[in-house]
Amino acid sequence: MGYYFKTSDLSVGYDGNVLIHDINIEIEKGEILSLIGPNGAGKSTILKSITKHLEMISGDAHIADASVRHMSFKDLAKKVSVVLTERIKGELLTCYDVVATGRYPYTNSLGILSEEDREKVFAAMRRVHAEELAGRDFHSISDGQRQRILLARAICQEPEIIVLDEPTSFLDIKHKLELLSILRSMSKEKGITVIMSLHEIDLAQKISDKVVCVKGETISNFGTPEDIFKTEIITDLYGMEKGSYNIAFGSVELPRPEGEAKTFVIASCGNGINVFRRLQKEEKPFYAGIIYENDIDYHVARYLAQEVVSVPAFTETTEEDFERAAALMDNCDEVICAGFPKGAKILERLEEKARADGKLVSSKAGL
Amino acid sequence: MKTSSLKEIKTGPAAYARYTGVFVGLAIVMFLLVVWNINSGSVHIPVREIARIIFLREGAGETTAYNIIWKLRMPRMITAAVLGGALALAGFLLQTYFGNPIAGPFVLGISAGSKLFVAVMMIIVLSYVKSVSSIMMVAAAFAGALISMGFVLLAARSIRQMSMLLVAGIMISYICTAITEFIVTFAKDADIVNLHNWSRGSFSGMDWDDVLISSVIVLATFAVVFLLAKPISAYQMGESYAQSMGVNVKTFRIVLIMLSSFLAGTVTAFAGPISFVGIAVPHIVKMLLNTAKPIVVIPASFMGGAVFCMLCDYIARVAFAPTELSISTVTAIFGAPIVIVMLIKKQER
């Protein structure tokens, strides 16, 4: 009760062969649901089954208690519109023509647009900031423009749900953000429910109200982004043996350099990040310290350094911490001081030690 | 306002003026061709006399001129127009179905399939019964069209590349033609005379019965196709999008195949296989209209096909009079270069 769109024990696949079974998803009106998961996991298969492009093998989906399985294509067209990965065929189509096809379920039997329909077409184009494309040939515009036009077409169909299959592929970052923010405002202002597959997990985390992880034969996880975006779930979902998922940044990190660390980095207050990343690129294993656990440096170092000498936030550093760092430094051939604020006594002592040992190769101390 | 000016470019007076221009132009050309067709031939008849014969029915049943105009030139011209329109329409439907501008009843082997079935009907059935009615011929041609269409569709399932599909169609065409030739070789002499002209495509020898039957069939089918302009426009976008707009794609696919086969079959039953009209005419019409919207392309293709076939038939009849060319000889000369240009353009894209 209360859910606007739900699937109940839905099984999907091709030609009667089940690919993913027992899909149970429930979302409320105006929510954004993202499907994430590795390539070929079946995200598109699920979307195509919801839109009836593929026959559901068993189970059903419901839109406000109406069964999708038993709905005619005509009725479905008034509730669900799509942005597919498939190319739009047809010749001599202007962008206006393409958007106008969204009015199809509402026009008379010869498909002639009324003045009101035309207004809606232009309103949809304004909505995606694409009015100036109206007279352009649809097949000669850029990928970013094309996605916007296809979205305008979907909006113009006045659906309750928009289903998008990888709408952000091939788009540069600017157009990705633009597209997603249009979706965000459509869902909040007009209560349009959005169901889409996304490759960019960082964006999925930020835009979605609910997230489905698609992997293997079942839905491995379903929940809010807070529930889903955890290092274990994400690394497991994508089978990331190398590299890791950085919760704090919602992004992925490349694998940490292998081997015995011969470099020690003294860093604090975000000064270390560039050094950590440079060492990672050079495939030089390293230690880092001494870093407070609420320091932004810590959130990078923990994924990239062999070992981090860290101190819980808002506690005093102790002599023990210094000894731990000094012990690691003794194993190293070089020490890089990436920088720390003046007056950080314990770090100043570490730097002095490095200089005394003749290991300090570069220093930006006392910023 | 910027928006309103754009609105006008695409949806307002400019586009409509263009559509009107094309239709008026086609109507004028059609009128000129009617006059020209009736006026020329191996027997010269002055225009004044023609007008009298047509409008006042002067000299009915007596003069040669009357017979030439009413029994030869008029029925021939009208069937050329009607069947030409049907061919262009069949081509347009096939192009919509395959999502390829180079599809047409002739290149896909559908005309050849019809030809084979009609040949079988004429030779084998005629040896048992006295006469074969036009309706039976149309039925046989429709069956042949559907069967060769079936083979094309089978090929289309395993072949994704459109150019290879055309190769498959041409092969089917060769096979059907070979079997037809084989049957003709062993047919009785009297049958061959009938078959020979027809199997190469010709509008000659049409009588008023042919005019009536072909017109009723073709115009009725045209009306059905026109009423389907809306789902056809959705289908042009691709099947997935059509379905998301509410079209039952599975049913509609069958409708498209039936209609295009029926039109192509009807033409073949009356005039034999005619090449390139189905590809060239819709292409030119779309270029002229600068749109592929079925609501205007369907009637314009029909008129364009009529005009194209009236012109080609005129040339076939008059160019080397008294010897007549087969209609496909003429349509190919005009149509094939257009197709070649289209292929090259497509490759460039």
CB count within 10 Å of CB A250 equals 17
Q: Which among A80, A92, A101 has the least Cβ separation from residue B234?
A: A101
% of chain B with per-residue pLDDT over 90: 47
CB contact under 8 A, B295 and A51: no
Q: How far is B235 from chain A (nearest CA, A)?
A: 9
Closest CA to B339 of B280, B290, B278, B273: B280
**Within chain A, where are the H helices?**
43-50, 73-79, 95-100, 115-127, 143-156, 173-190, 201-207, 225-228, 231-237, 273-281, 296-304, 319-331, 345-357
Q: Which among A73, A98, A134 has the least Cβ separation from residue B243?
A: A73
Distance CA A206, CA A29 (A): 19
Whether B120 shows a pLDDT value over 70: the answer reads yes
Answer yes or no: are the C-beta atoms of A123 and A133 closer than 8 Å. no
Q: How far is A79 from chain B (nearest CA, A)?
A: 10
Q: Specify the higher pLDDT residue, A301 or B56.
A: A301
At A48 the pLDDT is: 94
Distance CA B198, CA B192 (A): 10
| B contacts of A150 (beta carbons < 8 Å) | none
- Whichever domain contains A323, its CATH number is 3.40.50.2000
Please check whether residues A203 and A307 belong to one and the same domain. Answer: no
For residue A162, give the chain B residue with the closest CA: B244
In a domain, A254, yes or no: no
Please check whether residues A91 and A199 belong to one and the same domain. Answer: yes
**Within B201-248, where are the H helices?**
208-227, 229-236, 239-244
At A24 the pLDDT is: 93
Range of the domain at A293: 263-363
- For chain B, helix (H) and strand (E) counts, in that order, are 16, 0
Please check whether residues A60 and A207 belong to one and the same domain. Answer: yes
In a domain, A152, yes or no: yes
In a domain, A251, yes or no: no
Q: Which among B10, B101, B244 has the least Cβ separation from residue A77?
A: B244
Whether B5 shows a pLDDT value over 60: the answer reads no
Distance CA A308, CA A311 (A): 9
Please check whether residues A56 and A190 belong to one and the same domain. Answer: yes
At B13 the pLDDT is: 64
Read off φ and ψ for residue A197, nearest 5 degrees: -100, 140
Q: How far is B268 from chain A (nearest CA, A)?
A: 29
In a domain, A98, yes or no: yes
CB contact under 8 A, B236 and A90: yes
Q: Binning pLDDT at 50, 70 and 90, where does residue B12 land? A: low
CB contact under 8 A, A86 and B236: no
Q: How far is A117 from chain B (nearest CA, A)?
A: 12
CB contact under 8 A, A92 and B7: no
Chain center to CA of A262? 36
Whether B3 shows a pLDDT value over 50: the answer reads no
User: For chains A and B, what is the number of CB pairs under 8 angstroms?
Assistant: 102
At B4 the pLDDT is: 45
Helix (H) or strand (E) holding B250: helix B249-271
In a domain, A252, yes or no: no
At A241 the pLDDT is: 76
Answer yes or no: are the C-beta atoms of A325 and A261 closer than 8 Å. no
The number of domains in chain A is: 2
Contact with chain A for residue B292, Cβ under 8 A: yes
Of A216, A246, A276, the last residue of a domain is: A246
Read off φ and ψ for residue A164, nearest 5 degrees: -125, 130
In a domain, A268, yes or no: yes
- Whichever domain contains A125, its CATH number is 3.40.50.300
At A148 the pLDDT is: 92
Answer yes or no: are the C-beta atoms of B82 and B140 closer than 8 Å. no
Chain A residues whose C-beta sits inside 8 Å of any chain B C-beta: 51-53, 72-78, 80-82, 84, 86-94, 96-98, 101-102, 104-105, 107, 109-113, 118, 122, 131-132, 134-135, 157
Mean pLDDT for all residues in chain B = 86
Contact with chain A for residue B290, Cβ under 8 A: yes
Read off φ and ψ for residue A36, nearest 5 degrees: -120, 160
Distance CA B299, CA A179 (A): 40
| B contacts of A74 (beta carbons < 8 Å) | 246
At B9 the pLDDT is: 47
Residue in B227, B239, B241, B298 to test binding to A, most A beta-carbons within 10 Å = B241
Q: Do the bridges between strand A251-253 and strand A193-197 make them parallel or antiparallel, or are there none, so unpaired?
A: unpaired
Of A201, A217, A246, the last residue of a domain is: A246
Question: Could you tell me the two tokens for A131?
Answer: 């009015």
Please check whether residues A31 and A148 belong to one and the same domain. Answer: yes
In a domain, A258, yes or no: no
3-state helix/strand/coil string of A31-63 = CEEEEECCCCCCHHHHHHHHCCCCCCCEEEEEE
| B contacts of A84 (beta carbons < 8 Å) | 240-241, 244
Read off φ and ψ for residue A217, nearest 5 degrees: -90, -15
Answer yes or no: are the C-beta atoms of A231 and A67 closer than 8 Å. no
Please check whether residues A181 and A299 belong to one and the same domain. Answer: no
Q: How far is B6 from chain A (nearest CA, A)?
A: 7
Using 70 as the pLDDT threshold, list the residues of chain A that sit under it: 1-2, 365-367
Please check whether residues A269 and A223 belong to one and the same domain. Answer: no
Q: Which is it for the CA torsion A301, A302, A305, A307, positive or negative?
A: positive
> Does ipTM exceed 0.85?
no
At A151 the pLDDT is: 94
All residues at 6 or more sequence positions from A133 whose CB lies less than 8 Å from its CB, including other chains: A95, A125, A141, A145, A148, A149
Please check whether residues A269 and A236 belong to one and the same domain. Answer: no
Mean predicted confidence (pLDDT) in B196-217: 86
Mean predicted confidence (pLDDT) in B224-230: 95
At B236 the pLDDT is: 93
Q: Which among B243, B246, B291 has the least Cβ separation from residue A92?
A: B291
Q: Specify the higher pLDDT residue, B63 or B190.
A: B63
For residue B3, give the chain A residue with the closest CA: A131
Please check whether residues A214 and A350 belong to one and the same domain. Answer: no
Whether B82 shows a pLDDT value over 70: the answer reads yes
CB contact under 8 A, A53 and B233: no
Please check whether residues A276 and A341 belong to one and the same domain. Answer: yes
Using CA atoms of B46, B48, B54, B56 in order, give the dihedral in degrees to the nearest 10: -140
Domains in chain B: ranges and CATH: 83-348 (1.10.3470.10)
Please check whether residues A95 and A161 belong to one and the same domain. Answer: yes
Please check whether residues A111 and A160 belong to one and the same domain. Answer: yes
In a domain, A253, yes or no: no
Q: Binning pLDDT at 50, 70 and 90, where does residue B259 land? A: very high
Interface of B with A in 236-275 (CB under 8 A): 236-238, 240-241, 243-249
Distance CA A36, CA A30 (A): 19
Answer yes or no: are the C-beta atoms of B223 and A73 closer than 8 Å. no
| A contacts of B227 (beta carbons < 8 Å) | 109-110
Query: What does each C-alpha distance from B172 to A10, A156, A303, B105, B198 come to in angstroms?
Result: 44, 44, 64, 12, 20
Grouping H, G, I as helix, E, B as strand and the rest as coil, residue A279 is helix
CA atoms within 13 A on the CB side of B199: 27
Q: Which among B99, B229, B245 has the least Cβ separation from residue A105?
A: B245
